[in-house]
Amino acid sequence: MQRTYFSTSLPRNKGVRLILTGLLAGLVAGALAPPWPETAMAQGRPTAQTGPISAYPGFWDPRRRPERPDLSRLTLIRFLTETDYPPFNYARPDGNPTGFNVDLARALCDEMKIQCTIQMRRFDTLVPALAANRGDALIASIAVTPATRKILDFTDPYYRVPARFVARRDGALGEVRPEFLEGKKVAVVAGSAHEAYLKLLFTEAELRPYPSAQAARDALRRAEADYVFGDAIALSFWINGTESAGCCSFTGGPFFDSHFFGEGVGIAVRRGNDTLRQALNWALFRLWEKGQLTDLWLRYFPVSPF
C-alpha cells in the first residue's frame, strides 16, 4: 500500500508527513467549508487569512453548532493509530502510544464520557483492521480526499495544512499580496502544489524552484531568496528547530485553498457508521469551543502554522 504525500517538504525525523492524496492498493482515500474565503478559484486572487487568528482556527461554523447526539448506543470506542509518525502518533519509551492524535482521542472520550482504547498499528494495516472490525475509528492523520471518501466516512476535518510564506526576520511583512512580492525571489519546491499556486497567482514574483524543501529553506537561510513558500506545518518545525539558526519567521497569514492544499484531516470510521461519526463531530466541536484543541495543538506545535 502506497501513500502519496502533500509535498516533498516533510522530513520523517521532523514528524511532518501529512497524507493528502490518498492510499493506493486497498486505501483509495466531507470537508466542511472553511469560515475563510477559498482563495484562488473563488476570487481569482489569493487572500491569506489576515488580522487576529487563534492558534488553532475553527474548522466549524459556530452558527451551525451541532446538537448533542444520543451517546447511549456507544459504550466503547476502539481507536487505531499509526506506530511512528511523531508528533502526531508514536510510542513512548514504555511502549504506550502518545502524540497529538492520541491525546486528542483521549480528550474526545473524556468529553463524551465513553471508555476508549487506543491501539498502534503499521499504517498499511489500519484500513484492513477497521474493515475487519478490529477497531472503530482511525485517528492517524489520514487526509479527506475524493479517493479516501470512497472507502471511509470522515468526521469534519480537525486540522488542515495551510501554505505560508516565511521570510528572514528583517524582511517580514504584515500581509502578503502579489503586488508586494513583485521582483522578489521566492524559493519553492519544484513541481509542488505550492509552485503551481505561485505561478497562477503571484505572477510578478521571481520563482526559484528547488529540488527539495530542505534546499528551498537553505536558500532562504543563506539569503539567496527573499521568501520561501510551502507547507506551513513543515515550516513551523524548521522555524522552531536548530537548522534555521533563528533566521526566519512566518510572514503574512495562512492560505487554505483546498484546490491546491487539500481538504484537511479527519477521523475515519467505517462507511455508514453515522452514530460514531456524529458523536465525534459533536465532541470535536466542543473541544474547539472550549479552547482545548488550541491547548493541545500548542503542546506539540509551539510555533503555530496558522
Domain locations in the chain?
A: 3-54+72-160+262-300, 163-261
- Res 204 pLDDT > 50: yes
Higher per-residue confidence, 71 vs 170: 71
CATH number of 3-54+72-160+262-300: 3.40.190.10
Instruction: Identify the DSSP state of 65.
Output: P
Please count the residues of the chain: 306
d(C-alpha 178, C-alpha 164), whole Å: 13
Listed ranges 25-34, 63-72, 97-106, 282-291; the one with the highest mean pLDDT: 97-106
Do domains 3-54+72-160+262-300 and 163-261 share one topology? The answer is yes
- Res 260 pLDDT > 50: yes
Give mean pLDDT, residues 66-85.
92
Count of CA atoms in the C-beta half-sphere (13 A) of 134: 13
Grid cell 519509551 — which residue?
A: 93
Task: Say what percent of the chain tops pLDDT 70.
Answer: 80
Helices (H), the chain: 40-43, 100-112, 126-131, 193-201, 213-221, 232-240, 258-261, 274-289, 292-300
C-alpha cell at 304: 503555530
d(C-alpha 269, C-alpha 283), whole Å: 15
Higher per-residue confidence, 11 vs 63: 63
Higher per-residue confidence, 184 vs 27: 184
Taking alpha carbons only, the member of 212, 154, 224, 151 closest to residue 185 is: 224
CATH number of 163-261: 3.40.190.10
- Res 302 pLDDT > 50: yes
Task: Say what percent of the chain tops pLDDT 90.
Answer: 60
Give mean pLDDT, residues 49-54.
41
Q: What is the pLDDT of residue 62?
A: 67
Position 60 confidence tier, pLDDT thresholds 50, 70, 90: low
Q: What is the pLDDT of residue 294?
A: 87
